[in-house]
């Protein structure tokens, strides 16, 4: 049985032999993207953060409540 030797991977980087640095066009596009993201979330970011914090608190308490309910159920079943 003959096998062909595995070839090493063949790829090229985005710098194409030049120094790996950002171009002015890339920086401009990144700046536009960041300003667009900030604009979309600017007014609602405080409310969003508050809602995420509330969700974390409720989730932690819900898990504790389920654990206590399970333990109580186990005790009731064990006693009866």
The per-residue pLDDT for 47 is 80
Q: Each residue of 42-51: pLDDT tens digit?
A: 667 778 778 8
Distance CA 70, CA 48 (A): 33
Dihedrals phi, psi of 77, to nearest 5 degrees: -70, -40
What predicted TM-score, i.e. pTM, was given to this entire model?
A: 0.34
Looking at every residue in the chain, the average pLDDT score rounds to 78
Q: Who contacts 41 (Cβ-Cβ below 8 Å, separation ≥6)?
A: 48
Distance CA 58, CA 65 (A): 10
In sequence order, what DSSP letters do the residues of 41-59 get, joined into one string?
HTTTHHHHHHHHHHHHHHH
Under a CB-based contact definition with an 8 Å cutoff, are residues 20 and 13 in contact?
Answer: yes
């Amino acid at each position: 049985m003959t096998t062909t030797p595995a070839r090493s991977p063949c790829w090229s980087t985005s710098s194409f032999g030049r120094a790996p640095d950002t171009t002015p066009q890339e920086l401009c596009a990144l700046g536009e993207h960041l300003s667009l993201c900030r604009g979309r979330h600017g007014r609602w970011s405080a409310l969003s953060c508050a809602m995420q914090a509330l969700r974390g608190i409720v989730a932690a308490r819900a898990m504790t409540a389920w654990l206590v309910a399970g333990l109580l159920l186990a005790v009731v079943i064990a006693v009866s």
